[in-house]
Amino acid sequence: MDPRRGVPRTDTVLAEPRIAAAVDRLGRDLVKATVAAAQDRARRGELPVDHEAVVGAVLASLPDTATGLRPVLNATGVLLHTNLGRAPLSAAARAALDLAAGTCDVELDLGTGGRGPRGNAAIDALLSAVPGAAAAHLVNNGAAALALVAVTLAAGGGDGRREIVIARGELVEIGDGFRIPDLLTATGARLREVGTTNRVSRADYAAAVGDDTALILKVHPSNFVVTGFTRSVGIEELTGLGVPVVADIGSGLLTPHPLLPDEPDAAGALAAGATLVTASGDKLLGGPQAGLLLGAPGEGAELVQRIRRHPLARAMRVDKLTLAAFEATLRGPVSPTRAALDADPAVLRGRAERLAGSLTAAGVEATAVGSAATVGGGGAPGVTLASAAVALPERYAAALRAGEPAVLGRVEHGRCLLDLRALPVEADQELAAAVLAVGAGRAR
């Protein structure tokens, strides 16, 4: 008799209580496909041909959730790692997501039973965090915020003004081939470039402003630094030229931070005279992906209202999950991003020494070393943050990425460095377990 005939039937495996529970959690199609894969392994002789072996293989192969995303411990030393989803959300923001995932009063007035204002609580939280702003609006990302400004003021404003005056040194590419000038011209606006790559003056802007000028745009070159024979023009020098000044600060820093003296912040841009400020919510602000629009008192507030009523504002609207997580990020405790930015290097060094000591005691070649972390996410270029790391042999890097959970470090000078700056202290035990699993050959 062919032993393959002993492979348990699909319905029998699916009826096993542990597998049935997985169907409730993950869905029948995913679990059934995993069962079929385990049955094929048994037929090929890779598994024993019996019920328990196939069930065990299925359970070992099933994911924890019905998504292809995997959790990753960020030991790169990059606080806002774009490939890892940038800012990790706070516990308060995650709890808000769980609440908003069900039915909630996102657009309902519970007092009257009628339709209510959408997103007002999130907007109020943002205005409280930036008192210099008189009006605010949220869209789905930073690029959308800038595009909505351009399409409203320079392409669909109705007054015939279509030109955006911008310095040549601020026509930046922000990653993956995405370029600010392409975004702006795609809205129908025209660009009036001023100055040179490295130098621009107020006189350059003044000469360019005319009857066709819709706005002056200041874009923070957040992912590079130009040094040497350079000159730029601050917001405060541009406010008397008769047109709105829009500042795209990029990183979403709302107020100044002592470690980032050259990083523009929303409060500072408004205080300097910006009419409108645009920024991202998932960078230094530490929240979910979102685009922020802040208007100064007077003209800025009026422009925000025009922008939010533009037909394309609907296409860029944020959902209830973003509104909930964004508000909780602002009203709740310190975000993981801010905690990582404010981390004490001496405390990081102590953590690295304890981890290295415990790993060495378990037979792993590990050393605590000093390290240099960065902000990432296109923020604070050239700024390094004193940090500490656990150094392992280079071979650990690939094995840790393939582990469960995955651990992403960085390879430097023939070593795998696990930088602790972006990793919360409560993850140290999990990190140590992942390293020990690799050392023992147990990593998946």
For residue range 236-254, list pLDDT tens digits in order. 999 999 999 999 998 899 9
- For residue 62, the model assigns a pLDDT of 92
- Give residue 170's Cα distance to chain centre: 23
- For residue 50, the one-letter residue type is D
Distance CA 32, CA 29 (A): 5
Tell me the whole-structure pTM to 2 decimals: 0.91
- For residue 277, the model assigns a pLDDT of 98
User: In order of start, what are the domains of the chain with their CATH numbers?
Assistant: 3-60 (no CATH), 72-85+339-439 (3.90.1150.180), 91-333 (3.40.640.10)
Mean of pLDDT over the chain: 93
β-bridge pairing 163-167 and 72-74? unpaired
- For residue 444, the model assigns a pLDDT of 47
Q: Which two tokens stand for residue 187?
A: 């809205």
Instruction: Give all strands (DSSP E) within 275-357, no chain letters.
Output: 276-280, 291-295
Q: Is the pLDDT of residue 121 over 80?
A: yes
At residue 158 the predicted structure's pLDDT band, cuts being 50, 70 and 90, is low
Average pLDDT of 65-73? 91
Of the ranges 147-156, 204-213, 376-385, which is most confident?
204-213
Distance CA 279, CA 276 (A): 10
Q: Is the pLDDT of residue 443 over 60?
A: no
b/e per residue, 154-185, with b = 16+ CB within 10 A?
A: bbbbeeebbbbbbbbbbbbebeeeeebbebbe
Distance CA 159, CA 153 (A): 9
Q: Is the pLDDT of residue 4 over 90?
A: no
Q: Is the pLDDT of residue 442 over 80?
A: no
CB atoms within 10 A of CB 258: 6
Cα distances (Å, whole numbers) of residue 255 to 267, 269, 285, 436: 6, 10, 10, 41
Average pLDDT of 113-142? 96
- For residue 176, the model assigns a pLDDT of 72
Whether 409 and 75 have beta carbons less than 8 Å apart is answered as yes
Whether 80 and 377 have beta carbons less than 8 Å apart is answered as yes
CA proximity to 87, closest of 325, 410, 431, 249: 325
At residue 35 the predicted structure's pLDDT band, cuts being 50, 70 and 90, is very high
- For residue 44, the one-letter residue type is R
Q: Which two tokens stand for residue 292?
A: 């922020």
CB atoms within 10 A of CB 441: 7
At residue 178 the predicted structure's pLDDT band, cuts being 50, 70 and 90, is confident
CA proximity to 392, closest of 364, 419, 371, 370: 364
Q: Is the pLDDT of residue 1 over 60?
A: no
**DSSP letter assigned to residue 325:** H
Distance CA 82, CA 220 (A): 18
Q: What is the pLDDT of residues 94-111, one digit of tens each?
A: 999 999 999 999 999 999
Average pLDDT of 169-181? 83
Q: Which two tokens stand for residue 174?
A: 């922000």
At residue 68 the predicted structure's pLDDT band, cuts being 50, 70 and 90, is confident
- For residue 334, the one-letter residue type is V
Q: Is the pLDDT of residue 330 over 70?
A: yes
- For residue 156, the model assigns a pLDDT of 61
Q: What is the spatial order of strands in the sheet that 78-80 belongs to?
A: 78-80, 367-376, 385-393, 415-419, 410-412
Which ranges of 167-230 would DSSP assign to H, the alpha helix? 180-186, 202-208
- For residue 439, the model assigns a pLDDT of 84
Q: What is the pLDDT of residues 127-139, one digit of tens each?
A: 999 999 999 999 9
CA proximity to 124, closest of 334, 331, 338: 331
Coil/strand/helix, residue 407 = strand
Q: What is the pLDDT of residues 270-310, one digit of tens each?
A: 999 999 999 999 999 999 999 999 999 999 999 999 999 99
The lowest-confidence range among 50-59, 204-213, 310-319, 417-426 is 50-59
- For residue 157, the model assigns a pLDDT of 56
Q: Which two tokens stand for residue 302?
A: 């009026």
- For residue 161, the model assigns a pLDDT of 84
Q: Is the pLDDT of residue 3 over 70?
A: no
Q: Is the pLDDT of residue 223 over 70?
A: no
